[in-house]
Amino acid sequence: MKLSVPFLIFSLLAASTLTLINLSLIIYAQVNTTFDNNSSSNMTNVPSLSTDQRDISTSTNVSSPNSIPTAQSIFDSGTMTLPSSVKGVIIFIPDEAHHPPTDQKTISPKNPNYVPNTLEIPEGTEVAFVHDDPSHLHVGIVKDKDGNAIWTTIPVKFPDGSDSKTLSVSGSPYSISDKQYSPPMEGKIVVTPEKSTGALTVGGFFCPTKQLPDCKSQFLKAGFKILSEHNFNTKSVQKDISGPNTLLIYSTTLPVKDAITSLGPIIKSLPYK
């Protein structure tokens, strides 16, 4: 059978067009399949935030804008090094601070007698003590580098605080001891040449972890800001101390004397005996 030339041309063009359409469909299908696979693979390979990572991202246990050390670093090292933004520091005397480590009654191994155990402050910073060791009277004695007693605090009862003192760089480093309970009660204050230029009063505070929401609520109502917190477990022969505890690091614009007054009711609400 004879076919006309136009018919042959039409047939060839139609066949070519169908071939191109099929080829396009194949390529599209391959590209689309590859895209979907990659999308699925990428979604699988992108790590989702674990619970711990989410906790870290919202944790208060990070350095503050004023470079005040975190609760964890103070717990681990026993040292609090403060910037010039701090004007006052309240050293915390924890429950059972008068016991030696061998009695297995102190809350924290690095801060058993004072929080912090070692304090580094800029010159011009006001220092005071607050008392959370029920049924015991504490009189702090601060000596300069030559061993001269330059400050003996007023007798401090639970849950009150001491008088305050501004220490000079010339007598640094200073030792801290207690009139009746040294040893074991020992601490250290280092005054640096940097001048205090701020208005913050800061300090540390132990609270049973189960009572943490109440502690934090009381702090906020009293005009304090919680800068960081660190949870830990205390192994103690004394039941009111043993178990989960939390170290809080706080700040306030209240003067030291007023801050101590505001801390009293919070300390009194703790179960430490």
Q: What is the mean pLDDT of each run of 10 residues along the chain (273 residues)?
A: 46 46 42 36 34 34 70 98 97 96 93 97 98 96 98 96 98 98 97 96 98 97 97 92 96 98 96 84
CA distance 273 to 268: 10
CA distance 217 to 195: 33
pLDDT at 71: 98
What distances in angstroms separate CA 222 from CA 43, 129, 226, 238, 266, one per listed residue?
47, 18, 11, 30, 9
pLDDT at 61: 60
Instruction: Outline where DSSP puts E strands in 10-74.
Output: none
Dihedral angle sign, alpha carbons of residues 271, 267, 80, 136 = negative
Concatenating the DSSP letter of every residue in 57-77 gives HH-S-S--TT-PPPHHHHHHH
Concatenating the DSSP letter of every residue in 180-229 gives TTTTT-EEEEEEEEEEP---EEEEEEEEEGGGHHHHHHHHHHTT-EEEEE
- The answer to whether the CB of 176 falls within 8 A of the CB of 186 is yes
pLDDT at 129: 98
pLDDT at 244: 97
Q: Which residues pair with 7 in a beta bridge?
A: none
Instruction: Outline where DSSP puts E strands in the chain.
Output: 79-81, 86-93, 118-123, 126-131, 140-143, 149-152, 165-166, 174-178, 186-195, 200-208, 225-234, 243-252
Q: Select from 214, 215, 243, 219 the least CA-distant residue to 231.
A: 243
CA distance 66 to 216: 21
- The answer to whether the CB of 204 falls within 8 A of the CB of 71 is yes
Place of tokens 């205090």: 196
Q: Select from 248, 257, 163 the least CA-distant residue to 214.
A: 248
The first and second tokens of residue 161, run together, are 């605080």
Cα 113 versus chain centre, distance = 20
Q: How far from each other are the two terminal CA atoms of the chain, in whole angstroms? A: 115
CA distance 130 to 122: 20
**CATH number of the 60-268 domain:** 2.60.40.420
Q: Select from 222, 207, 214, 218 the least CA-distant residue to 271.
A: 207
